[in-house]
Structure 1
Amino acid sequence: MKSHLPMILLISLLVLLSPLAGADNSNYFAEYIGSQFTDVKFSDVPINSGVDFHFILSFAADYTTTTSPASPTNGNFNVYWDTDDLSADHVNAIKQANPNVKVALSLGGDTVSGTTAFFKPSTVDSWVLNAVSSLTILIKADPTTFANCIGGLITILKKNNVISFASIAPYANSDVQQHYQALWANYGNIIDYVNFQFYAYSSDTTVDQLVNYFNDQSSNYAGGKVLMSLTGDGGRGLSPANGFFDACRKLKEEEKLVGIFVWDADISKSRGFQYETTAQNLLAS
């Protein structure tokens, strides 16, 4: 039986290809932005010059923007983020002001206009051809189809020097893991980061448990750069108040802290981006 699978895939814009490095301590920080139309701007977010900072525009989806409800388009992407505050001009401005900043876009997402979004390619070939020229969201895929569609897309975009890096964002759900691990098994060599959603674990998770979860997912995505993650309000998973950054420090002591990402700037804006500041300071130290 084919499954309904929301998907998040990240690709970068306007940067050169770079080689992969080993999965040990680094100063990589990523921030999702634009999904909730809170008028947040790139320039609102504190940027530590000592980190490798990636903004991730959320989301581009192969769903219609002119019909209600929105419907899938087999790989023809449309923009679903706040373009008034996060336009191409804003991208260029933040990159010029901060040499350590790169900007990516996220494909897929969980919902489109309030409706759950799924992966639904007509065929592998047609989806990949459409996605390479536009960008897409995915629905009703078995693991093999999912892996071949996403893997084919990343392969061509990297080969054509359109993107510099690609990331995936799985979480601890057996169906989701089945699809992403099939992708990893065949295309892990071209996927640069695993933005694992550790905030999807229970809020009563302990520091030691989170470290163990990290080690488990590092095994599931062996050889990959698995990032730690938290939400901008600390409201899901192990919160900063209960030890999230203690877990990060422990991983750093063990030389396993590849980087941290935050979901997302729209949430963090009203809280003064406090966790972004702490995370970047930790990574840069």
Structure 2
Amino acid sequence: MELHIPKPCFILLILTTSLFASTILAANSNLFREYIGAQFKGVKFSDVPINPNVNFHFILSFAIDYDTSSPPSPTNGNFNIFWDTQNLSPSEVSFIKNQNPNVKVALSLGGDTVQGDPVNFIPSSIDSWVSNAVSSLTSIIKTYNLDGIDVDYEHFIGDPNTFAECIGRLITTLKNNNVISFASIAPFDDAEVQNHYLALWKSYSNIIDYVNFQFYAYDKSTTVAQFIDYYNKQSSNYNSEKVLVSFVSDGSTGLGPGNGFLDGCRMLKSQQKLNGIFVYSADDSKADGFRYEKEAQEVLASPN
């Protein structure tokens, strides 16, 4: 029997469905992300508490397109592993993912320094860098059974457009080849850094899933009110539904979880603006028993 819906009811149904969809898009996320392995402090995936009611991403830190000589030299997109492979091996990745169906594992590109020197983004050309990066990263990602990449270059020798094209084409190719399922970027509030990442965002925002904005790069004296203002500012720069908030484990910079960060997260959550939380890093958090990781995940998992 054919169902006939009166026209006014049909219009109401469309409006209701659209409103429901908008509500879903504006909803909070339970995504928790943690950088791990950069400081070689012996931390393992299994050390970190994982709340079963969050989506959890470990981010291996870092894969860098520098060689392993001393001092290291740039390699134009040929990436090498610079994380603690003894404790964070391919078998450990498989184990933690098998034990926790809510866990995915990514790797981060670049970082601040390598053996004490700045990691510079310094491609010879767009085409050559992308070709080398796709090849070398595909090998690492498949060996480690990883799910995504994060882009955390912080120093640049080259213009914003070159950075945008290199990173944009890299992410596009890895996704089209089904090598990764998600990608994030990790900018912070610095003029040069923002110029490069906003150029990338302008051209390739559709393929970037998360913005790991480094709110811990702001001053340690940051208040909760300032933190909320910073969040709103960066949400206007990037997509407001993709910007994650963050703290640094050692408490050296930014609004810390013991000084109001979690209160700020609860405020954002009450406004349907909490898209997720990330932490740098598990290496430092180990000494404190991952106290704030537990609390942050509880905030994300809480129904209100």
Q: Considering the TM-score relative to the shorter chain, is it more than 0.5?
A: yes
Contact 1:23/1:225, CA 8 A, preserved across alignment:
no
Q: Secondary structure at the match of 1:211?
A: helix
Contact 1:121/1:139, CA 8 A, preserved across alignment:
no
| Deviation string, structure 1 residues 112-140 (Cα, Å, up to 9, x no partner) | 11211100100000000000001497841
Distance in 2 of aligned mates of 1:42 and 1:22: 31
In structure 2, the residue matched to 1:208 is: 225
Letter in 1 for 2:204: Y
* TM-score, normalising length: structure 2: 0.84
Of residues 175, 181, 191 in structure 1, which corresponds to 2:192? 175
1:18-57 superposed matches below 5 A: 22=25, 24-57=27-60
Structure 1 segments, 4+ long, off by >3 Å, are 21-24, 135-139
In structure 2, the residue matched to 1:154 is: 171
How far off is 1:241 after superposition?
2.2
Q: Secondary structure at the match of 1:55?
A: strand
Letter in 2 for 1:167: S
Of residues 117, 124, 137 in structure 2, which corresponds to 1:122? 124
How far off is 1:141 after superposition?
1.7
| Deviation string, structure 1 residues 248-267 (Cα, Å, up to 9, x no partner) | 00000000000000000001
Does residue 220 of the first structure (1) align with residue 237 of the second (2)? yes
Contact 1:37/1:82, CA 8 A, preserved across alignment:
yes
Contact 1:192/1:224, CA 8 A, preserved across alignment:
no
Of residues 279, 282, 285 in structure 2, which corresponds to 1:265? 282
Larger radius of gyration: 2
Distance in 1 of aligned mates of 2:240 and 2:174: 22
Higher helix share: 2
Contact 1:143/1:182, CA 8 A, preserved across alignment:
yes
Letter in 1 for 2:259: N
In structure 2, the residue matched to 1:245 is: 262
Contact 1:229/1:262, CA 8 A, preserved across alignment:
yes
Aligned length, in residue pairs: 264
How far off is 1:106 after superposition?
0.5
Moved more, 28-37 or 197-206: 197-206
Distance in 2 of aligned mates of 1:57 and 1:178: 26
Of residues 149, 152, 159 in structure 2, which corresponds to 1:142? 159
How far off is 1:233 after superposition?
2.7
Distance in 1 of aligned mates of 2:258 and 2:283: 20
In structure 1, the residue matched to 2:181 is: 164
Structure 2 unmatched runs, 5+: 1-23, 138-150
Q: Secondary structure at the match of 1:227?
A: strand
In structure 1, the residue matched to 2:147 is: none
In structure 1, the residue matched to 2:4 is: none
When residues 224 and 191 of structure 1 are mapped into structure 2, their CA distance, relative to the original with a 3 A threshold, is farther
Does residue 92 of the first structure (1) align with residue 98 of the second (2)? no
Distance in 1 of aligned mates of 2:76 and 2:222: 39
Contact 1:24/1:256, CA 8 A, preserved across alignment:
yes
Distance in 1 of aligned mates of 2:227 and 2:240: 19
| Deviation string, structure 1 residues 5-28 (Cα, Å, up to 9, x no partner) | xxxxxxxxxxxxxxxx84641100
Letter in 1 for 2:36: I
Contact 1:57/1:81, CA 8 A, preserved across alignment:
yes
RMSD over equivalenced CA pairs, Å: 1.4
In structure 2, the residue matched to 1:195 is: 212
Structure 1 unmatched runs, 5+: 1-20
Distance in 1 of aligned mates of 2:208 and 2:284: 27
Q: Secondary structure at the match of 1:60?
A: strand
Distance in 2 of aligned mates of 1:118 and 1:24: 37
Contact 1:23/1:223, CA 8 A, preserved across alignment:
no
Letter in 2 for 1:113: Q
Distance in 1 of aligned mates of 2:103 and 2:65: 27
